[in-house]
Structure formats: C-alpha cells, structure tokens
Amino acid sequence: MRENVAYRVKINGDSLMLQEGVVEHYLERVKLEHVSDAYPHQLSGGMRQCVAIARTLANSPELLLMDEPFGALDPETRWQMQELLLEVVHKERMSVLTVTHDIEEALYLGEDIFFLSSHPGRLEAEIHPQFKQELAGQDRDAMLAHPEYTRLERQIRRMMRQQGQSAPADGGEQPLKVLRL
C-alpha cells in the first residue's frame, strides 16, 4: 500500500517528498500506517478509499476534484477524513470541488454549495453558508446545533424533494450538491 500512495510522487520525480516522509505522513493521517505493507486486495473498501485520499493528498494538487469521496466510509472514518481534508485544504491553500448527495457533508465542507437539478443537471441554487464564519475553529457539533445550519438543511431537503417529485420515471439520479471548499 505504501507503494500505491507513493506511485504518483515517484512518477513526478519528486524524490525529496519521498525522503521527507510525505507518504508515511499521509498514511498516518488516514490511520492506515499499521497496514502500510498490505496489498490492495487485503484491504476493505473503506480502507482502499482512505488510500486513494492519502495518495491524492501526498501529491499536493492545486485543484482537487472529488466525486462522493467519503461515501464508502463508516460514519466515524468519514468525519475524520472530512476533518483531514479541511485541515489540508486550509494548510495547503488548495481548491477542492466535491460532488456529494450528503447534505451534512455539503454544509460542513462547503464554502459555496451549488445545487443542481436532476435531469438535465442545471444550476438550481447557490448556497453560501455564512454562519460557518462565526464557527471558525469550532467542531462539527457546534455547526449541527447552529440555527442557520438547521434552516439550510431544511431548505436543501425541500429542494431535493421537489427535484425527486419531478425526476423521470426511469429512476434517474437525485439532484447533486456540488461544493467548493
């Protein structure tokens, strides 16, 4: 697994990053240092997802595109990975564009949330959770308890229901929330 995380770093010829222990750092951050010598087939789906996140972050991209990055993870691991992502984004000043169907995730991670219609994917609403500025440095529980969080969650849920009622009979996808960190 260590080689899997280091693959792109090696391709980019960044031996300094390997010497500085970047791979080990991100394996530790995703809490997989104990299985760093395992092969991918020996890992659970959630562990593989964490490896993919570590591999991506180890390359310090300027722009990170993520499609349902935490969907396969159990709730506790999902929260830890979301916190890690926020920490890395702010430290590295990286831009992230994430697609998610999870309202809490969108409100927790997003500075700007773009709600798209089901079919075709058109911009239905832009949401800017201003209350998060008040909560800088506080934890997820503070966000969940904030009245503005509750209002926005209800608003998004209503929009999802409306989209669901107008969705095609073929069982097309629910609307997407695209967020930018």
Chain segment 56-91, per-residue pLDDT in tens: 888 888 888 988 888 888 898 888 888 888 888 888
Specify whether the CB–CB gap between 95 and 179 falls below 8 A. no
Q: Which residue has the higher pLDDT, 13 or 109?
A: 109
Residues 27 and 16 in one domain: yes
Nearest Cα neighbor of 127 from 98, 146, 107, 145 is 107
Please report where in the chains the tokens 């791979």 appear, as a residue.
Answer: 23
Q: Is the pLDDT score of 17 beyond 90? A: no
Report the domain count for the chain: 2
Domain final residue pick, 60, 82, 97: 60
Q: Say if residue 103 is in the same domain as residue 93.
A: yes
What pLDDT score does 135 carry? 82
pLDDT tens digits, residue range 132-153?
888 877 788 899 999 999 999 9
Q: Are residues 95 and 176 in the same domain?
A: yes
CATH number at 70 reads 3.30.950
C-alpha closest to that of 85 among 41, 128, 140: 140
Residues 21 and 85 in one domain: no
92 with 11, same domain: the answer is no
User: Are residues 91 and 9 both part of a single domain?
Assistant: no
Q: Are residues 132 and 46 in the same domain?
A: no
- Domain extent, residue 37, equals 1-60
Domain boundary among 60, 78, 105: 60
Q: In this structure, are 50 and 71 located in the same domain?
A: no
**At a CB cut-off of 8 Å and minimum separation 6, what does 167 contact?**
118, 119, 174
56 and 117, same domain (yes or no): no
Is residue 61 a contact partner of residue 12, using CB atoms and an 8 Å limit? no
Please tell me whether residues 75 and 146 are part of one structural domain. Answer: yes
